[in-house]
Amino acid sequence: MIEIFTLSRKRTSKAYYYIIGMLLFASLLSCEEDKPTITSVSGKIVNPKYSYVVLTNYDNVHDTLQLDEEGIFRKTFDKLDSGLYTIFYPGESQWVFLDQGDSLSIRANTRAFDETIAFTGTHDRENTFLINLFSQIEDSNMDMLKFENKSPRVFYDNVHKVKEERLAKLKEASKKYVFNPRFVEFAEFIIKLNSYYELERYPIIHDSNIYIDKDVNVPEEFFAHRNRVEIDLPKLLNNFAYRPYVNALASNLAYRNLSKRSSKDIDLNNYIYNKERLKVIDSLFENDQLQNVFVAGEIRNFIRGRKNAEEINLLVKDFLAISTDEKINEEIAQMAATYISLDPGNELPDFDLRNMDNERTSLSKQVKKLTVLYYWSIQDKDYALSIHDQVKDLQLKYPEIEFIGINIDQLDFDQWQDIIANNDFRNSREYQLYDKSAINRQLALRNSNRSMVVDRKLTIIDPNINLFYYKIESTLLGYINR
């Protein structure tokens, strides 16, 4: 005979839920165990000039992925954190979303990196959306300049409108393609952070000083985002809207601080303003990595655009009092010394060039009169095209001046010639650095978008002339008549 126990309703209920709970737990544990933990990142770089790409999240991942002979790379990670990552190819960068267990493949052609980059595999739709969002943000940031002198209310309303339209498109795409929820969070933050960037740069681009002009009324909500945004997080470096926002915030706060101290016009290029920017950046971050990144960016920009060696030395001293990265400190000190050595009146170092016939020559053999040297890289194609168009126009107007284009890319002769032909640069005098690494420290050519004026003896007249300056023709006439 089988003995049967009869349980009360209450006791039966407890046993029932206990068993169900155990079954659910076992089911979830099984699902967790079944979920792939290996993440694969692969791809192909077409027409590679360098042999590697770098993948980083500025935290616990920083890997160099070597390209094989066909430009293919592959790397697997165990239990990779879900989030945004940055892929670097020298001179280019792209932001990608990765989740644990993903298998994502990336393809790009170096001759038009941004235009050709494409994704296949897990979350390819999310990453394609990210590329398109980046392009849209770049375009709209330029479009927003048409409102630069409108009232703060009009500017704010237009920024808010664009933000809401983007969020709506994200919601629509997410519903249609079933985006990963974590990706949606990241994309929403990118969209919002870009709108905050627009608001922070408004005081700088506005014709009048909104902190002094009593006729300008700034809505209370204009800068309310500052209370909602936590910026002291290294992983935010993977967010392409992050650096522009922080730079705009630092610029605006420095501008505001100086405006409160004096009613005089503020020169955004001088030592006083840039010293204030360093102080603001120092106050914004407790994280040493972020602090070092942004103060180093500030000092690099100041040195590259300087005209005054004394101010360079002063700001470098201020920078060294903040930065804790010895490697960056050494680089900045060398960079400052290089630019100071290129002061007007000093002689430009002679260096070897490759001409269009693949012959080795020297700069001194090519400079026979007043000459503008403009350096360019195909890594910044927009600049390369625009500087050649500008030079073509200036050369016609000022035949007394020679204009010499110098390509700084590490390309073989055939690659360089393809670029010259494909972009119609053959009508200008073109040369290529024969050995960039040998003179990089002498000319500080990390900044490729640079032009300088020298006389026939290579004496420096202007170490950093802006050929797009609206008074450039008056400047060149002055050099002709000096």
Per-residue pLDDT, 169? 97
Kindly state whether residue 42 falls inside one of the protein's structural domains.
no
Q: What residue type is 465 in one-letter code?
A: I
Whether 382 and 411 map to the same domain: the answer is yes
**What mean pLDDT, rounded, does the chain reach?**
89
Q: What is the pLDDT of residues 302-311, one digit of tens each?
A: 988 766 888 9
The residue from 213, 232, 255 where one domain ends is: 255
Q: Which domain holds residue 452?
A: 352-480
Mean pLDDT, range 45-71, rounded to an integer: 93
pTM of the predicted model, to two decimals?
A: 0.77
Three-class SS state of 230: coil
Same domain, 368 and 475: yes
Mean predicted confidence (pLDDT) in 3-32: 47
Whether residues 217 and 281 fall in one domain: no
pLDDT of residue 287: 96
Strand ranges (DSSP E) for 37-71? 38-46, 52-56, 62-66
Extract the tokens encoding 363: 């700069």
Do residue 456 and residue 391 come from a single domain?
yes
The DSSP letter of residue 66 is: E
Residue 475 · residue 469 · CB < 8 Å: yes
Residue 220: which H helix or E strand, with range? none
Is residue 448 in a domain?
A: yes
- The fraction of the chain above a pLDDT of 70, given in percent, is 90
Mean pLDDT of 360-380: 93
Tally of domains within the chain: 3
Residues 479 and 451: beta-carbon distance below 8 Å: no
* pLDDT at residue number 337: 85
Q: Is residue 128 part of a domain?
A: no
Identify the CA nearest to 294 among candidates 325, 273, 266: 325
Each residue's pLDDT tens digit, 191-217: 999 999 999 999 999 999 999 998 999
Q: Among 304, 319, 341, which residue terminates a domain?
A: 341
Reported as a pLDDT band with limits 50, 70 and 90, residue 448 is low
Same domain, 324 and 397: no
In a domain, 244, yes or no: yes
| Residue 436 CB burial class (10 angstroms; 0-12, 13-18, ≥19) | middle
Q: HSE of 358 in the Cβ direction (CA atoms, 13 Å)? A: 7
Do 362 and 414 lie in one domain? The reply is: yes
What pLDDT score was predicted for residue 26? 54
Q: Would you state the pLDDT for residue 35?
A: 64
Nearest alpha carbon to residue 52 among 81, 77, 74: 74
pLDDT tens digits, one per residue of 407-443: 988 888 998 999 999 898 977 899 998 876 656 656 6
326 and 370 inside one domain? no
Task: Identify the H or E element spanning 460.
Answer: strand 460-462
194 lies in the same domain as 312: no
Specify if 315 maps to a domain. yes
Instruction: Indicate whether 322 and 371 sit together in one domain.
Output: no
In angstroms, how far is the first alpha carbon of the chain from the final one?
120
Q: Both 405 and 306 in a single domain?
A: no
Q: Dihedral, CA atoms, 71, 76, 77, 80, nearest 10 degrees?
A: 70
Q: What share of the chain is helix, strand, coil (3-state, %, to 5)?
A: 50, 15, 30
Looking at the fold, whether 211 and 306 belong to one and the same domain comes out as no
Q: Determine the Cα–Cα distance for residues 132 and 118; give it in Å rounded to an integer.
A: 11
- Asked if 476 and 358 sit in the same domain, the reply is yes
Contact in structure between 434 and 353 (CB atoms under 8 Å): yes
